[in-house]
Amino acid sequence: MAVVTAHADDFTIFAGGTIAKMIGEGYTAHLIRITNDEKDSQDLSLAETISRNARELRKAADAIGIQEIYSLNFRNDEMDPVPETEVRQKLMLLFRKLKPWTLFTFDPSAKYEENPDHKKTARAAEDAAWNSAGHLAEPEQLALGLEKWAVLDRYYWARSLDDSDVNKVVDISGTIDQKIRAVQQHKTMMNHTAHQLKEKLAEANLRLPLLDTIDETTVNQFIDIRLRERAAAQGAKHGMKYAEVFHYIPIESEGGYVMRNVVPR
Ligand SMILES: [Zn+2]
C-alpha cells in the first residue's frame, strides 16, 4: 500500500490502527509525506522544527511497521502557489515505482476540512491514482523505464466523515495500543497541539486541568484519552470496541457483474 499523508502525524491519527492491522496481515506499506512540517512546533526554530518532526516521523512509522518514507518536502501551509499538477506528477512517479494495490489518504470530498495541506494532498493523490494508469499521462516517466500502474482500491479518511459516506469500518481493537504508541512518537507536534489547545481555551477563559502542566507525561495521557474516545465513539456505532472509519473505493463495485464473474488469472 501507499499511504499519502500531508503531515507527519495525519496517517497515525486517522488510520494508524488500520494500517498496522493490514501490515500484520501481510501488506507492505510505503509512506509518502507531502510537506516538511516546518511550522508544527511550539517554540523551536524552523530548521529544528523540520529536523525533529522528520526524526519523530521515522519513529512513528516504525511503531506502525512502515518501511520506506518518501518526503516530498513542500513547505507546510505554503502550498497555494504550488501547481497541483506538480504534486500529482511526483505522486504518479512514486505510484509507478512502488506499484501499490491500495491507497490510503485524505478524502478529497470531505466537508468542513479546514487545513489547506490536507485539501491539496487529497486532490493530488486522487488525481495521481487516476492518471498513473494512463500510457499518455506523464509519458517521460514511462520513457525512464517505469510502467503505468492502476491503484486498485482506496481508503479515504477525514477529520469527520458523514455517517452516510462511511462504507468501511475497521475493528482496530487489536492495534489501538500500537496506534497510540505511534502517535506519541510525534512529540514535537503533539506538544504543539496541547499548547495550542491550552492557549485557545485560555482566550475563552477556560482551562483543562490535565494540561495545567504540559510535559511528556501529560501530553501522552491526553493523546491516549483523545484517541480512545474517538475510536470508541466510531466503534460504538458498529458494535466494536474501537474502530476507524473510511470512505472506501473498491477495485470494482461489489456484487456487480465484474466482481461476480472474475476468476483467478
Ligand atoms: Zn495534518
User: Domains along the chain?
Assistant: 2-253 (3.40.50.10320)
Give the Å distance between the CA of 186 and the centre of ligand 1.
12
Residue 12 C-alpha cell reads as 497515525
Give the Å distance between the CA of 27 and the centre of ligand 1.
24
In the beta sheet, which residues pair with residue 70? 32
Dump pLDDT digits (tens) for 24-81.
999 999 999 999 999 999 999 999 999 999 999 999 999 999 999 999 999 999 999 9
Length of the chain: 265
Give the Å distance between the CA of 10 and the centre of ligand 1.
5
Who surrounds ion ligand 1 at CB < 5 A? 6-7, 10
Task: Compute the radius of gyration of the chain from its Cα atoms.
Answer: 19
Beta carbons of 131 and 91 less than 8 angstroms apart: no
Beta carbons of 110 and 122 less than 8 angstroms apart: yes
Contacts of 60 (CB under 8 A, 6+ apart): 8, 9, 12, 182, 183, 185, 186
Measure the CA–CA gap between 214 and 229, rounded to whole angstroms: 20
Provide the Cα torsion 87, 89, 93, 95; round to 10°. 70
pLDDT at 72: 97
Full-model pTM: 0.96
